[in-house]
A and B are shown apart, each in its own frame.
Chain A
Amino acid sequence: DAGVIQSPRHEVTEMGQEVTLRCKPISGHNSLFWYRQTMMRGLELLIYFNNNVPIDDSGMPEDRFSAKMPNASFSTLKIQPSEPRDSAVYFCASSFPGPPTGELFFGEGSRLTVL
Protein backbone atom coordinates (compact mmCIF):
# COMPACT_ATOMS: atom_id res chain seq x y z
CA ASP A 1 0.00 0.00 0.00
CA ALA A 2 1.32 3.44 -0.92
CA GLY A 3 -0.11 4.90 2.23
CA VAL A 4 -2.33 7.96 2.39
CA ILE A 5 -2.10 9.84 -0.88
CA GLN A 6 -2.62 13.57 -1.09
CA SER A 7 -2.72 15.88 -4.06
CA PRO A 8 -1.53 18.34 -5.06
CA ARG A 9 1.75 18.33 -3.13
CA HIS A 10 2.19 22.05 -3.73
CA GLU A 11 -0.33 24.68 -4.68
CA VAL A 12 0.30 28.37 -5.25
CA THR A 13 -2.76 30.47 -5.90
CA GLU A 14 -3.96 34.02 -5.65
CA MET A 15 -6.25 35.42 -3.02
CA GLY A 16 -9.88 34.84 -3.89
CA GLN A 17 -9.33 31.68 -5.89
CA GLU A 18 -10.89 28.35 -5.03
CA VAL A 19 -8.56 25.64 -3.76
CA THR A 20 -9.36 21.93 -3.66
CA LEU A 21 -7.15 19.48 -1.82
CA ARG A 22 -7.61 15.76 -2.30
CA CYS A 23 -6.96 12.70 -0.17
CA LYS A 24 -7.08 8.96 -0.69
CA PRO A 25 -6.95 7.09 2.63
CA ILE A 26 -5.38 3.70 3.14
CA SER A 27 -7.66 0.95 1.89
CA GLY A 28 -9.67 -0.54 4.75
CA HIS A 29 -9.32 2.46 7.02
CA ASN A 30 -12.64 3.93 8.06
CA SER A 31 -11.66 7.18 9.78
CA LEU A 32 -10.21 10.16 7.94
CA PHE A 33 -8.82 13.37 9.40
CA TRP A 34 -7.83 16.73 7.92
CA TYR A 35 -5.20 18.72 9.81
CA ARG A 36 -3.59 22.08 9.13
CA GLN A 37 0.01 22.74 10.11
CA THR A 38 1.44 26.22 10.69
CA MET A 39 4.52 27.44 12.52
CA MET A 40 2.49 29.39 15.03
CA ARG A 41 -0.28 26.92 15.81
CA GLY A 42 1.27 23.56 15.02
CA LEU A 43 -1.14 20.82 13.93
CA GLU A 44 -4.80 21.76 14.15
CA LEU A 45 -7.59 19.27 13.53
CA LEU A 46 -10.04 20.71 11.03
CA ILE A 47 -12.53 17.87 10.57
CA TYR A 48 -12.79 14.15 10.84
CA PHE A 49 -14.98 11.52 9.20
CA ASN A 50 -15.97 8.06 10.33
CA ASN A 51 -17.43 5.71 7.73
CA ASN A 52 -17.66 8.68 5.33
CA VAL A 53 -19.80 10.69 7.77
CA PRO A 54 -18.48 13.97 9.23
CA ILE A 55 -18.27 13.48 12.99
CA ASP A 56 -16.61 16.65 14.20
CA ASP A 57 -16.05 19.78 12.14
CA SER A 58 -15.56 22.13 15.05
CA GLY A 59 -12.03 22.90 13.89
CA MET A 60 -13.07 24.22 10.49
CA PRO A 61 -12.06 27.87 10.68
CA GLU A 62 -15.01 29.43 8.88
CA ASP A 63 -17.56 28.98 6.15
CA ARG A 64 -14.92 29.37 3.48
CA PHE A 65 -13.76 25.86 4.36
CA SER A 66 -15.72 22.76 3.44
CA ALA A 67 -14.90 19.04 3.34
CA LYS A 68 -16.57 16.05 1.78
CA MET A 69 -16.09 12.33 1.74
CA PRO A 70 -18.30 10.91 -1.02
CA ASN A 71 -16.93 7.39 -0.59
CA ALA A 72 -14.50 5.38 1.49
CA SER A 73 -11.56 6.05 -0.80
CA PHE A 74 -11.75 9.77 -1.42
CA SER A 75 -12.07 13.05 0.44
CA THR A 76 -11.72 16.71 -0.50
CA LEU A 77 -11.02 19.87 1.45
CA LYS A 78 -12.13 23.01 -0.33
CA ILE A 79 -11.33 26.64 0.43
CA GLN A 80 -13.41 29.23 -1.33
CA PRO A 81 -12.41 32.02 -1.51
CA SER A 82 -8.83 31.52 -0.37
CA GLU A 83 -6.96 34.12 1.69
CA PRO A 84 -3.24 34.60 2.43
CA ARG A 85 -3.77 33.48 6.05
CA ASP A 86 -4.83 30.06 4.71
CA SER A 87 -1.24 29.41 3.66
CA ALA A 88 -0.17 26.26 5.48
CA VAL A 89 0.54 22.57 5.03
CA TYR A 90 -2.65 20.54 5.00
CA PHE A 91 -2.39 16.93 6.11
CA CYS A 92 -4.80 14.10 5.62
CA ALA A 93 -4.62 11.05 7.89
CA SER A 94 -6.55 7.82 8.24
CA SER A 95 -6.90 5.10 10.86
CA PHE A 96 -8.01 1.50 11.20
CA PRO A 97 -11.54 0.49 12.14
CA GLY A 98 -12.12 -1.04 15.53
CA PRO A 99 -11.00 0.07 18.99
CA PRO A 100 -9.03 3.33 18.81
CA THR A 101 -5.27 2.92 19.01
CA GLY A 102 -4.23 6.54 18.59
CA GLU A 103 -2.22 5.63 15.52
CA LEU A 104 -2.98 7.87 12.58
CA PHE A 105 -1.34 7.31 9.22
CA PHE A 106 -0.47 10.61 7.61
CA GLY A 107 -0.07 11.64 4.03
CA GLU A 108 2.86 13.73 2.84
CA GLY A 109 0.81 16.90 3.01
CA SER A 110 -0.28 19.59 0.57
CA ARG A 111 1.63 22.85 0.90
CA LEU A 112 -0.68 25.75 0.06
CA THR A 113 0.55 29.27 -0.62
CA VAL A 114 -2.03 31.98 -1.15
CA LEU A 115 -0.58 35.19 -2.54
Chain B
Amino acid sequence: AQRVTQPEKLLSVFKGAPVELKCNYSYSGSPELFWYVQYSRQRLQLLLRHISRESIKGFTADLNKGETSFHLKKPFAQEEDSAMYYCALSIHNTDKLIFGTGTRLQVFP
Protein backbone atom coordinates (compact mmCIF):
# COMPACT_ATOMS: atom_id res chain seq x y z
CA ALA B 1 0.00 0.00 0.00
CA GLN B 2 1.13 3.55 -0.64
CA ARG B 3 1.66 5.44 2.56
CA VAL B 4 3.54 8.40 3.98
CA THR B 5 4.28 8.46 7.69
CA GLN B 6 5.31 11.47 9.72
CA PRO B 7 5.71 10.18 13.27
CA GLU B 8 5.89 13.54 15.02
CA LYS B 9 2.85 15.79 15.27
CA LEU B 10 4.83 18.54 16.97
CA LEU B 11 8.50 19.41 17.05
CA SER B 12 9.71 22.26 19.24
CA VAL B 13 13.21 23.68 19.11
CA PHE B 14 15.03 26.85 20.03
CA LYS B 15 16.37 29.27 17.44
CA GLY B 16 19.76 28.15 16.16
CA ALA B 17 19.20 24.49 16.97
CA PRO B 18 19.29 21.81 14.26
CA VAL B 19 15.99 20.51 12.96
CA GLU B 20 15.04 17.15 11.49
CA LEU B 21 11.48 16.43 10.44
CA LYS B 22 11.01 12.75 9.84
CA CYS B 23 9.23 11.19 6.88
CA ASN B 24 8.99 7.52 5.92
CA TYR B 25 7.18 6.13 2.93
CA SER B 26 5.82 2.87 1.62
CA TYR B 27 5.66 2.51 -2.15
CA SER B 28 6.39 -0.35 -4.51
CA GLY B 29 7.50 1.80 -7.43
CA SER B 30 10.23 4.37 -7.87
CA PRO B 31 9.37 7.12 -5.37
CA GLU B 32 9.07 10.80 -6.10
CA LEU B 33 8.97 12.72 -2.84
CA PHE B 34 8.25 16.29 -1.84
CA TRP B 35 8.03 18.55 1.18
CA TYR B 36 5.22 21.09 1.41
CA VAL B 37 4.97 23.89 3.98
CA GLN B 38 2.06 25.91 5.32
CA TYR B 39 2.99 29.09 7.17
CA SER B 40 0.44 30.75 9.42
CA ARG B 41 -2.33 32.37 7.36
CA GLN B 42 -0.70 31.32 4.08
CA ARG B 43 -1.49 28.68 1.51
CA LEU B 44 0.09 25.28 1.46
CA GLN B 45 3.03 25.47 -0.94
CA LEU B 46 5.81 23.32 -2.30
CA LEU B 47 9.06 23.64 -0.37
CA LEU B 48 11.31 21.21 -2.19
CA ARG B 49 11.33 18.08 -4.35
CA HIS B 50 13.85 15.29 -3.91
CA ILE B 51 14.68 15.07 -7.58
CA SER B 52 15.99 18.62 -7.61
CA ARG B 53 18.44 17.95 -4.78
CA GLU B 54 18.14 21.60 -3.88
CA SER B 55 18.39 23.61 -0.68
CA ILE B 56 15.46 25.92 -0.07
CA LYS B 57 15.50 28.39 2.84
CA GLY B 58 18.36 26.33 4.27
CA PHE B 59 16.35 23.11 4.22
CA THR B 60 17.56 19.93 2.52
CA ALA B 61 16.10 16.46 2.22
CA ASP B 62 17.82 13.30 1.03
CA LEU B 63 15.97 10.29 -0.28
CA ASN B 64 17.20 7.12 1.40
CA LYS B 65 15.68 4.19 -0.47
CA GLY B 66 17.23 1.64 1.90
CA GLU B 67 15.48 3.17 4.88
CA THR B 68 12.51 4.41 2.80
CA SER B 69 12.96 7.83 4.33
CA PHE B 70 12.97 11.43 3.19
CA HIS B 71 13.77 13.46 6.29
CA LEU B 72 13.83 17.26 6.13
CA LYS B 73 16.80 18.92 7.78
CA LYS B 74 18.09 22.36 8.60
CA PRO B 75 21.27 22.97 10.58
CA PHE B 76 20.13 26.18 12.30
CA ALA B 77 16.42 26.80 12.81
CA GLN B 78 14.98 30.30 12.54
CA GLU B 79 11.78 31.62 14.10
CA GLU B 80 10.29 32.17 10.65
CA ASP B 81 10.58 28.42 10.01
CA SER B 82 7.66 27.86 12.37
CA ALA B 83 4.98 26.25 10.22
CA MET B 84 3.21 23.02 9.37
CA TYR B 85 5.28 20.68 7.21
CA TYR B 86 3.88 17.88 5.05
CA CYS B 87 5.79 15.14 3.31
CA ALA B 88 4.20 13.92 0.07
CA LEU B 89 4.62 11.01 -2.34
CA SER B 90 3.80 11.14 -6.03
CA ILE B 91 1.83 8.16 -7.28
CA HIS B 92 2.85 6.56 -10.57
CA ASN B 93 4.80 9.66 -11.59
CA THR B 94 1.69 11.82 -11.65
CA ASP B 95 0.63 14.96 -9.83
CA LYS B 96 -1.55 12.79 -7.58
CA LEU B 97 0.11 13.28 -4.19
CA ILE B 98 -0.33 11.27 -1.02
CA PHE B 99 0.44 13.40 2.03
CA GLY B 100 1.54 12.47 5.50
CA THR B 101 -0.29 13.72 8.56
CA GLY B 102 2.05 16.67 8.95
CA THR B 103 4.45 17.93 11.61
CA ARG B 104 4.09 21.30 13.27
CA LEU B 105 7.47 22.92 13.81
CA GLN B 106 7.71 25.53 16.55
CA VAL B 107 10.92 27.53 16.79
CA PHE B 108 11.25 29.48 20.01
CA PRO B 109 13.43 32.60 20.33
Interface residues of A (CB under 8 A from B): 3, 31, 33, 35, 40-45, 48, 55-56, 91, 93, 95, 100-108
Q: Is the CB of A104 within 8 A of B102?
A: no
Contact of A102 among B86, B97, B101, B102 (CB under 8 A): B97
Interface residues of B (CB under 8 A from A): 6, 32, 34, 43-46, 49, 86, 88, 90, 93-102
Contact of B44 among A56, A91, A101, A102 (CB under 8 A): A91
With A100-B90, A102-B34 as contacts: A43 and B45 at CB distance below 8 Å: no
Contact of B100 among A42, A56, A101, A108 (CB under 8 A): A42
Which residues of B are found within 8 Å of A107, using beta-carbon distances? 43
- Shortest Cβ distance from residue A68 to the other chain B in the assembled complex, whole angstroms: 19
Q: Is the CB of A100 within 8 A of B43?
A: no
